[in-house]
Structure 1
Amino acid sequence: MKPLCVLLLLLGLCSAAAAEGLPAPSNPVTNAPILPPDAPGQGKSRFAMLDDVRLLANGLLQLGQSLREFVHKTKAQINDIFEKLNIFDRSFYQLSVVTSEIKEEEEELKKTTTFLKVNNEEIRNLSLEINSKIDGILQERSQLQTKVGGLEEKLKGLSQSMAPADQIQEMTALKDVIESQERTITDLLTAVRGQNEQLNYQSSKIKSLEDKLNFDPFQETAEKPPNSQSDPPSVLHYLPEISTNGSMNSSDLPMDCSEIFNQGQRNSGVYAIKPNQSKPFNVFCEMSSDGGAVVIQRREDGSVDFDQTWEKYKKGFGDLQQEFWLGLEKIYAIARQREYMMHIQLEDWKQETRSIAYLFTLDGPATDFTLHLTHLRGNLTDAMSNHTGMRFSTKDRDNDNHEDSNCARNYTGGWWFNACGDTNLNGRYLWLKSRGRSLRRKAIYWKPGREISYTLKSTKISMQPAPRRH
């Protein structure tokens, strides 16, 4: 721009000098006078003026080229800026969407926390009420023992005074009734203590969940932390050989839930059964139009930690009214009686429920409860047939086909793993769908073949007699 201004200034001075008759200005470089282009009789000055015009034209051409290059560079820079602005707009929009989702999840977690606090208060009140009832029962037991001692002394005195035989028999029967009542009270105390322990366990789980929600309300996976320091109380113990009323022998109990259904029962709930060559125990019977089925596993809220040892999976753990594993010994005792059908029902986080049925048998403890399956029917893609012939595995007893890994330890929970298989219904309970593959494989999942695996909201495994083949 500066050379152009100088040339224009020189041309203006030349024109002014020619018009006013002033001496022409000199060239600042050569100090030669600059003549106007139409000065008469001065050809050299005219040619000099043409040289200046050429210089001016060349300068203008160079200036134009520079301006054109500058314009192209400026356009490229502006386009780059526009692209960056578009990227920024998209990123800002995505950030706004994620922020709104996080706010919605925060509101849901706040509602859940409030609900759990209310439940915690109710559980605490129930625990206090149960403790007071236990104290009352203990006092009644002490009084009853005192009365029993007094009756024993009276019986001794009466026997020494040669009381009539009918009175002695009556007193003996009275003593038996009192002893039966004492056993009933003992069993009741055991059951009440078990319920109290269960309530305390639930309260501690809710408290730990509240602490987790208060500490990190934006956590996406929201995994319910298991309490690895304390085992959940088991209510799946075997029953005594004689019922609490002292009148019915355990041999009169039905062998499974189908017999209870055939006896006229139509309400689902906890019943006592006695399979052949086994001690009696309680099971949860699910009654439907198809008959009665024994529920052997249920997951619904993550209240029970399923990452347990071999001994726990053999005996059973959990609460028959909520989450539980019936126990390999009890499942084997039922399955060895006749041909049974295993029914698996799964629910995902979209509230979609699907099921599948297998004809199955279970070998005994000598083979680590080897499973044998034959697919029958269902609207769920088969993911268990390749587990047939597998022994049961836990974190402290590795029976899977994976030589370099312990599937039960890596993916948590006991199962019939097959290096490491396409499904694990005893895995870690996650409250929301996880995006991480490693965490998803440790959860309750069902992955048929090459299909995408997905975590589950609830599971239920039951067994009932297989239909007769014609």
Structure 2
Amino acid sequence: MRCAPAAGAALVLCAATAGLLSAQGHPAPPEPPRFASWDEMNVLAHGLLQLGHGLREHVERTRGQLGSLERRLDACGAACQDAGGSAAPPLAAADPVSGDHAAPETLHSLQVQLKAQNSRIEQLFQKVAQQQRHLEKQHLRIQNLQSQVGLLASKDLDHGVAKPARKKRLPKMAGHVSAVHNNSRLYRLPRDCQELFEDGERHSGLFQIQPQGSPPFLVNCKMTSDGGWTVIQRRQDGSVDFNRPWEAYKAGFGDPEGEFWLGLEKVHLITGDRGSRLAVQLRDWEGNDASLQFPVRLGGEDTAYSLQLSAPVASELGATTVAPSGLTLPFSTWDQDHDLQGDKNCAKNLSGGWWFGTCSHSNLNGQYFRSIPRERQQRKKGIFWKTWRGRYYPLQATTILIQPTAAPVAS
């Protein structure tokens, strides 16, 4: 990038922005080796995140300097157009050859350069922000894969080389639920917990599944007399923070053996376009339990992972008026507001992400309270299901499960 020596301020501006634009032209660092270790991938992801943050801060500081210079130039322009000419800018005196008309022309040239540089920096800022979002997504995926590899490694150490045929299951030891039970399957992985149930599995626990068009991932299956259910949420002790942004709820977080959220994208891959049953299990602090089931359909990210509910059950999740065809409730987080409450952001006003109809009917991903707060304003930020114990009663434990009710299309 070349800079004309029109004025001292222009030289400072060009020097500040040339570094940014030349950095943009550097070749991208080579991709990590295909068989790089997880530690190397993790270090690389952290390093790139720090680089993105540093570059973004530098761009923001430079934009602030450009804004200050632009305001000074605007003030100078007003002074230069004064009929009396008493407030002529120093730039005019610095160029005696150009005469009385040099100052306005120099000012106009600087303003054009300023706008061009500001436009380039804005483009660079947008690219940095986009790369930062991409790196954060990759970091979440790496963490998820690391946890799965750890579970598989512990299974291999315990049981040795996988055998080609399924053997009879030994009785489980008390408290031992960490093994991935279907690690020895050499044929196609099941699409979901229901298909695993249909294959003859009757024990609950952690299993690898592979929905159509998806890589394998780990789920917690609960086997009942009604078939195989996939656990998509569990709250029990407040060990995991559920007040997270959209990307975290999309990818999933937590420990599948403790408190966790499976991830909206994984749930959508499991259900696809099929109808499903959603089961909600609730427990209060007096030891009372409640269980609800209702038919749903879950849309993809293009619908904000909307739950499509039939009219009889829509009011359970916060519908004030329901059409005969039912109700569609999109998922909301504090950074992506899709709820039906037009004048509020329910996720920001309460806590956590949820299929909010209004802010007052249900929220099973709210703040976990180990004791019931005295203030009502604080209690409504908790985990509640209004039609059971009321909005201002924070529940002790919840579990959400889903089961497709229609057979998947054969691949």
Q: When the two structures are superposed, what TM-score results if normalisation uses the length of structure 2?
A: 0.52
1:63-102 alignment to 2 at 5 Å? none
Deviation at 1:358, TM superposition (A): 0.9
Partner deviation per Cα, 1:145-184 (whole Å, 9 max, x = no partner): xxxxxxxxxxxxxxxxxxxxxxxxxxxxxxxxxxxxx98x
Structure 2 matches for 1:121-270, cutoff 5 A? 236-237=144-145, 252-270=188-206
Residue 250 of structure 1 deviates from its aligned partner by 9.2
Choose the corresponding residue for 2:276, options 314, 333, 340: 340
Aligned to 1:415: 354
Structure 2: stretches of 5+ with no match in the other structure: 1-33, 41-138, 154-160, 165-183, 321-326
Maintained 8 Å contact 2:361/2:391: no
Query: Which residue identity does 2:202 align to in structure 1?
Result: R
- Letter in structure 1 aligned against 2:285: W
Deviation at 1:442, TM superposition (A): 0.3
CA deviation map 1:221-270 (0-9, x unaligned): xxxxxxxxxx9998644979xx9989999981100001111222222111
Q: CA deviation at 1:431?
A: 0.5
Decide whether aligned partners of structure 1 residues 310 and 299 sit closer, same or farther in structure 2, where only a CA change above 3 A counts.
same
Contact 2:273 2:299 in 1 (8 A): no
Please give the residue correspondences for 1:272-311 in structure 2 after superposition, counting only pairs within 5 Å.
272-311=208-247
Q: Is the 8 A contact 1:232 1:318 kept in 2?
A: no
Shift of residue 186, structure 1, vs aligned partner: 5.8
Q: Corresponding residue for 2:255?
A: 319
Distance 1:414 1:268, change over 3 A: same
Provide the aligned length of Structure 1 versus Structure 2: 241
Match 2:317 to one of 384, 401, 404: 384
In 2, Cα distance between the equivalents of 1:307 and 1:450?
22
User: Structure 1: where are the runs of 5+ without partners?
Assistant: 1-181, 191-230
Amino acid at match of 2:278: M
Larger Rg: 1
Q: 1:262 to 1:458 in 2, by over 3 A?
A: same
SS at match of 2:249: helix
1:397 is aligned, of 333, 336, 350, to 336
- 2:319 and 2:144 map into 1 onto residues whose CA distance is 30
CA distance 1:337–1:390, shift in 2 (3 Å): closer
In structure 2, do the counterparts of structure 1 residues 449 and 259 end up closer, same or farther at CA, with 3 Å as the change threshold?
closer
SS at match of 1:383: helix
User: Are the equivalent residues in 1 in contact too, given 2:380–2:391 (CA < 8 A)?
Assistant: no
Does the residue aligned with 2:197 lie in a helix, a strand or coil?
Answer: helix
Contact 1:370–1:389 (Cα < 8 Å) also in 2: yes
What letter corresponds to residue 201 of structure 2 in structure 1?
Answer: Q
Q: Cα offset for 1:351?
A: 0.5
Counterpart residue number, 2:396: 457
- Deviation track 1:425-445 (CA, whole Å, cap 9, x = no partner) reads 000000012232111110001
1:309–1:354 Cα change, 3 Å? same
Q: CA deviation at 1:376?
A: 7.7
CA distance in 1, matches of 2:369, 2:391: 17
Distance 1:275 1:365, change over 3 A: same
What SS does structure 2 have at the residue aligned with 1:454?
coil
User: TM-score if structure 1 supplies the norm length?
Assistant: 0.46
> 1:293-313: CA deviations, max 9, x gaps?
000000000000000010000
- Using the alignment, how far apart are the partners of 2:257 and 2:371 within structure 1? 23
RMSD: 3.8
Equivalent runs, 1:40-55 vs 2, <5 Å: none
How far apart, in 2, do the equivalents of 1:334 and 1:385 lie?
Answer: 25
Residue deviations 1:165-217 (CA, integer Å, cap 9, x gap): xxxxxxxxxxxxxxxxx98x967x89xxxxxxxxxxxxxxxxxxxxxxxxxxx
> Retained in 2: the 8 A contact 1:346–1:456?
yes
Q: 1:331 aligns with which of 257, 267, 270?
A: 267
Q: Does 1:359 align with 2:298?
A: no
CA deviations 1:118-151 (Å, max 9, x no partner) are: xxxxxxxxxxxxxxxxxxxxxxxxxxxxxxxxxx
Letter in 2 for 1:271: F
Secondary structure in 1 matching 2:232: strand
Q: Secondary structure at the match of 2:223?
A: strand
- Give the match's secondary structure for 1:448: helix
Q: Distance in 1 between matches of 2:254 and 2:141?
A: 7
Higher fraction of helix: 1
- Tell me the secondary structure at the aligned position of residue 310 of structure 2: strand
* 1:386/1:337 CA distance change after superposition, 3 Å: same
- Secondary structure of 1:402 counterpart: coil
Identity of aligned residues (%): 40
For the residues of structure 2 that align with 1:284 and 1:450, how far apart are their CA atoms?
A: 28
How far, CA to CA, are the matches of 1:256 and 1:268 in structure 2?
13
